[in-house]
Structure 1
Amino acid sequence: MARLRPLLLLCFAALLAACSSSPSSTLGELPRTPQASTQQLLQQAQDSSPEKAAQLRLAAAQQSYQQGNLKQTGDILRQLDLALLKPAQQIFASTLAAELALADGNPQQALAALQHPAFERLGELPLDQQIRSRLVRAQALEADKQLLAAARERVESAPLLSGASAEDNHEAIWRLVSALPRDELQQDSDPTLSGWLALGDTVKQAGTLNQQQNAIEHWRQQNPQHPAALRLPEPLGKLLRLEAQPLTHIALLLPTDGPLAGPARALRDGFLAAHLQAQAEQRTELKIELYDSSRIASIDELYQRAARDGVQLIIGPLEKEQVRKLADRQALPLPTLALNYSDAGQIAPPQLFQFGLAAEDEAREVAHRAWADGHRRAIALTTRGDWGNRVQQAFRQSWQELGGTLVAADSIGQPVELAGQIARLLQLTSGDTPTRRQDVDFLFLAATPQQAQQVKPTLVFQYADDLPVYATSHLFSASNDRTQYLDLEGIRFAETPWLLDSQLPLRQQVEQKWPQAGSSLGRLYAMGADAYLLAPRLNQLLALPETRLDGLSGSLTLNPERRIERSLPWAQFRNGQIERLADTP
Structure 2
Amino acid sequence: MIACLRLLSALCLAALLAACASSPSSSLGDLPRTPDASIEQLLEQATSAKTPEKASLLRLSAADLAYHQNNPARSAQILAQVPLDSLKPAAQVFASTLTAELAMTRNQPKAALAALNHPSLQNLKELAPEQQIRTGTVHARAYEADGQTLAAARERVAMAPLLSGDTASSNHEAIWALIAAVPAEQLQATNNPTLDGWVSLALAVKGAGTLEQQQAAIDTWRVQNPGHPASLQLPQPLIKLKELASQPLSKIALLLPQEGPLANVARALREGFMAAHYQAEQAGQKPPIIEFYDSSRLSSIDDFYAKAQAAGVQLVVGPLEKPLVKQLNDRPQLPITTLALNYSETDQGPAQLFQFGLAAEDEAREVSQRARADGLHRAAAMVPKGEWGERVFRAFRQDWEANGGTVIGVEYVDQPVALAQQIADLFHLRQSEGRAKSLQSTVGTDVAAQPSRRQDIEFIFLAVPPQLAQQIKPTLNFQYAGDVPVYATSHVYSASGDRNQYLDMNNVMFCETPWLLNTTDPLRNQVAAQWPQANGSLGRLYAMGVDAYRLAPRLGQLKALPDTRIDGLSGNLGISPNQRVDRQLPWAQFVNGQVQRLPDTSR
**Partner residue in 2 for 1:579:** 597
Call closer, same or farther: CA 1:102–1:247 in 2, change over 3 Å. same
Whether the aligned pair in 2 keeps the contact of 1:315 and 1:338 (CA below 8 Å) is yes
- Paired-residue identity, %: 58
Matches within 5 A, 1:154-303: 154-242=156-244, 244-303=246-305
Q: Deviations over 1:285-341 (max 9, x none)?
A: 321223333344432443344345433222112222222233344443322211111
**Partner residue in 1 for 2:502:** 485
Call closer, same or farther: CA 1:331–1:184 in 2, change over 3 Å. same
Call closer, same or farther: CA 1:39–1:507 in 2, change over 3 Å. farther
Distance in 2 separating the partners of 1:42 and 1:460: 65
**Partner residue in 2 for 1:534:** 551
Which of 481, 494, 510 aligns to 2:527? It is 510
Call closer, same or farther: CA 1:574–1:197 in 2, change over 3 Å. same
Matches within 5 A, 1:299-448: 299-345=301-347, 347-428=348-429, 429=431, 430=433, 431=436, 432-448=449-465
Whether the aligned pair in 2 keeps the contact of 1:494 and 1:570 (CA below 8 Å) is yes
SS of residue paired to 1:196: helix
Whether the aligned pair in 2 keeps the contact of 1:87 and 1:118 (CA below 8 Å) is yes
Q: Are positions 1:469 and 2:486 aligned together? A: yes
TM-score, normalising length from structure 1? 0.88
User: Which stretch has the larger CA shift, 256-265 or 432-441?
Assistant: 432-441
Distance in 1 separating the partners of 2:600 and 2:48: 50
Distance in 2 separating the partners of 1:497 and 1:330: 36
Distance in 2 separating the partners of 1:65 and 1:71: 8
How far does residue 446 in structure 1 lie from its aligned partner after superposition?
A: 1.5
Which of 449, 455, 467 aligns to 1:450? It is 467
Call closer, same or farther: CA 1:45–1:263 in 2, change over 3 Å. farther
Call closer, same or farther: CA 1:66–1:301 in 2, change over 3 Å. closer
How far does residue 81 in structure 1 lie from its aligned partner after superposition?
A: 4.6
How far does residue 355 in structure 1 lie from its aligned partner after superposition?
A: 0.7
SS of residue paired to 1:490: coil
How far does residue 560 in structure 1 lie from its aligned partner after superposition?
A: 3.3
Q: Deviations over 1:151-208 (max 9, x none)?
A: 2222122112222221111001110111122223444422222221222122223333
Structure 1: unaligned runs, 5 residues or longer:
1-23
TM-score, normalising length from structure 2? 0.85
Distance in 2 separating the partners of 1:127 and 1:513: 65
Call closer, same or farther: CA 1:330–1:140 in 2, change over 3 Å. closer
Matches within 5 A, 1:554-569: 554-569=571-586
**Partner residue in 2 for 1:69:** 71
Q: Deviations over 1:378-418 (max 9, x none)?
A: 22222222211111111222222223233332322211222
- The one-letter amino acid of 1:365's match is E
Structure 2: unaligned runs, 5 residues or longer:
1-24, 437-448
Whether the aligned pair in 2 keeps the contact of 1:252 and 1:316 (CA below 8 Å) is yes
Distance in 1 separating the partners of 2:70 and 2:428: 41
Distance in 1 separating the partners of 2:225 and 2:261: 55
Distance in 1 separating the partners of 2:495 and 2:602: 23
Q: Are positions 1:138 and 2:140 aligned together? A: yes
SS of residue paired to 1:27: coil
**Partner residue in 2 for 1:12:** none
**Partner residue in 2 for 1:13:** none
Whether the aligned pair in 1 keeps the contact of 2:215 and 2:245 (CA below 8 Å) is no
Distance in 1 separating the partners of 2:150 and 2:119: 23
Q: Deviations over 1:28-82 (max 9, x none)?
A: 3223336563697399569998877765654443333223222344445556553
Distance in 2 separating the partners of 1:425 and 1:396: 17
Whether the aligned pair in 1 keeps the contact of 2:379 and 2:457 (CA below 8 Å) is yes
Whether the aligned pair in 2 keeps the contact of 1:45 and 1:57 (CA below 8 Å) is no
SS of residue paired to 2:349: coil
SS of residue paired to 1:350: coil
Which of 114, 127, 130 aligns to 1:128? It is 130
Distance in 1 separating the partners of 2:478 and 2:93: 53
How far does residue 530 in structure 1 lie from its aligned partner after superposition?
A: 0.8
User: Which stretch has the larger CA shift, 402-411 or 30-39?
Assistant: 30-39
User: Which stretch has the larger CA shift, 217-226 or 269-278?
Assistant: 217-226
Matches within 5 A, 1:48-59: 58-59=60-61
Distance in 2 separating the partners of 1:492 and 1:163: 50
Distance in 2 separating the partners of 1:30 and 1:455: 62
**Partner residue in 2 for 1:496:** 513
How far does residue 450 in structure 1 lie from its aligned partner after superposition?
A: 1.9
Whether the aligned pair in 1 keeps the contact of 2:34 and 2:62 (CA below 8 Å) is no
Q: Deviations over 1:493-548 (max 9, x none)?
A: 22222222222232232223233323222211111111011111122233333432
Distance in 1 separating the partners of 2:57 and 2:474: 58
Call closer, same or farther: CA 1:177–1:507 in 2, change over 3 Å. same
- The one-letter amino acid of 1:71's match is A
Number of aligned pairs?
Answer: 562
- The one-letter amino acid of 1:340's match is N
Distance in 2 separating the partners of 1:36 and 1:191: 45
SS of residue paired to 2:339: strand
How far does residue 25 in structure 1 lie from its aligned partner after superposition?
A: 5.5
- The one-letter amino acid of 1:120's match is Q
Whether the aligned pair in 2 keeps the contact of 1:42 and 1:57 (CA below 8 Å) is no
Distance in 2 separating the partners of 1:452 and 1:79: 56
Distance in 2 separating the partners of 1:50 and 1:531: 68
SS of residue paired to 1:502: coil
- The one-letter amino acid of 1:196's match is W
SS of residue paired to 2:376: coil
**Partner residue in 2 for 1:19:** none
Call closer, same or farther: CA 1:107–1:490 in 2, change over 3 Å. farther
Whether the aligned pair in 2 keeps the contact of 1:91 and 1:122 (CA below 8 Å) is yes
SS of residue paired to 1:465: coil
Whether the aligned pair in 2 keeps the contact of 1:107 and 1:143 (CA below 8 Å) is yes
